[in-house]
Copies of this chain bind each other. A is one copy, B any other.
């Protein structure tokens, strides 16, 4: 199965299912969300470690990015600067970059949304940035209590963002499919009147707690 097919399927399964499927790990904290709630993003991470309020390294990262990459930028959580906007979005789309996850804020939200480029961030800010600070590209970064290494697979949607280790993608996909199938079976059983407590086998636990 080729990468693109895997990514398409992960995109369709969604972040919550992938998170559970890989053993409830790899979720970025709940403060990073897409500016367009319909956004769905999947691809390998090109990581960027930069200071807050400076975007030199973002311009540099665009020179290094390959089509399909997801830029994952550790801007240190600072939300009073918008180091990414519509011009960078245009340049990123031209290079075929899949989307942006930034531990910080962006500007030009409406333009970005209408261009259809998935951006996951902590906020929107019009405040400016310098273009002088050195930083690093393709080193492990740590955002929202999760490590993201270059090449890790990013899966994001309205619910949040999860990071999958590149060498676990096939296993995780299989497990996610199984989980999705199980949930689909649950939905059918629920439609026919089953309770979630029965489906999940929680009745013994409830009885042990004298909850009946």
Q: Give A residues with C-beta under 8 Å from B.
A: 14-16, 19-20, 24, 27, 29-30, 33, 37-38, 51-54, 56, 59-60, 62-63, 74, 76-82, 85-88, 90-91, 94, 105, 107-110, 123-128, 130-134, 137, 142-147, 157-160, 162, 183, 186-187, 190-191, 193, 195-197, 200, 202, 205-206, 209, 211
Chain B residue nearest to A145 in the complex (CB) = B142
**CB pair A30 B134 closer than 8 Å:** no
**Knowing A52-B52, A125-B30, A128-B20 touch, does A80 contact B80 (C-beta < 8 A)?**
no
8 Å CB contact of A19 from B126, B134, B137: B126
Question: How many copies of this kind of chain does the complex include?
Answer: 6
**CB pair B63 A78 closer than 8 Å:** no
**CB pair B134 A142 closer than 8 Å:** no
In the bound complex, how far is the Cα of B94 from the Cα of A74, in angstroms? 38
